[in-house]
């Protein structure tokens, strides 16, 4: 047998033997895993927030302007009241702006001799604040606001300046402005307790008039001690 023929026969035997051995082997191939969908959590940092506040108001007035020919009351004072407010705003790292609505209970006006009235106010302000940094979750701030106020006077009575008795209720829309400062403390990633001071100027208010005229209370204002909560929409995970 020639060497060429031996090589051909040997190669054929090897191929047949290998095929038979492979046929006897178990099927070890594994199915490919099914594709999976990954869910990505994205932090939502919109900057928007809501707020709610309560305030203790210490009323102030720059005096009264009586009807022509009458003497202004002396020893004037405007009493205290409470107020509640709601608002919504947006913030960046150091700047915040919001819109707030505050409604207060009536403040009692008293003057000598024998003059009294009740003054109430609702304010609508656009505010801006500078956050001055954060230390141990506490963020001090300063701010200012401007807008409008609806100021009302009711139950005005006076024995001599002029001698009104009832029927003198009146409301008026005024320009209003405020200055504020405070400190906010984070009690959770999305909630802050806000303790602050605000001075708000609500403008003048004039009683209704009769044959003897009317009286105007000048520059109704209040010093406020305020406590509130701010809740932001930040840091909530969104699934995608």
Q: What's residue 158's pLDDT?
A: 79
Domain coordinates in residue numbering, the chain: 46-239
Residue 97 CA neighbour count, 13 Å, CB half: 2
Q: Just give the CATH number of 46-239.
A: 2.40.160.20
Mean pLDDT of the 125-142 span: 96
More confident residue, 166 or 131: 131
Higher pLDDT, 59 or 41: 59
Question: What is the tens place of the pLDDT at every residue in 192-220?
Answer: 999 999 999 999 998 877 667 788 899 99
Q: How confident is the model at residue 222 (pLDDT cuts 50, 70, 90)?
A: very high
């Amino acid at each position: 047998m020639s060497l060429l023929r031996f090589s051909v026969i040997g190669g054929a035997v090897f191929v047949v033997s290998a095929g038979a051995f492979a046929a006897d082997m178990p099927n070890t191939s594994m199915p490919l895993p099914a594709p999976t969908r990954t869910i990505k959590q994205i932090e939502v940092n919109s900057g928007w927030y809501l707020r709610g506040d309560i305030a203790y108001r210490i009323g102030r007035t720059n005096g009264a302007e009586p009807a022509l020919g009458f003497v202004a009351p002396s020893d004037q004072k405007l009493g205290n009241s409470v107020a509640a407010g709601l608002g919504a705003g947006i913030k960046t790292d150091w700047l915040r702006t919001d819109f707030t609505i505050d409604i207060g209970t009536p403040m009692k006006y008293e003057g000598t001799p024998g003059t009294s009235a009740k003054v109430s106010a609702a304010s609508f302000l656009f505010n801006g604040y500078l956050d001055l940094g954060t230390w141990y979750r506490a963020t001090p701030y300063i701010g200012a606001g401007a807008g409008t106020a609806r100021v009302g006077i009711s139950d005005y009575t006076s024995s001599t300046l002029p001698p009104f008795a009832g029927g003198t209720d009146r409301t008026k829309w005024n320009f209003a402005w405020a200055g504020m400062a405070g400190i906010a403390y984070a009690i959770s990633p999305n909630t802050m307790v806000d303790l602050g001071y605000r001075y708000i100027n609500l403008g003048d208010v004039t009683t209704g008039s009769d044959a003897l005229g009317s009286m105007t209370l000048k520059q109704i204002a209040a010093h406020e001690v305020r406590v509130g909560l701010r809740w932001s929409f930040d840091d909530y995970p969104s699934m995608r």
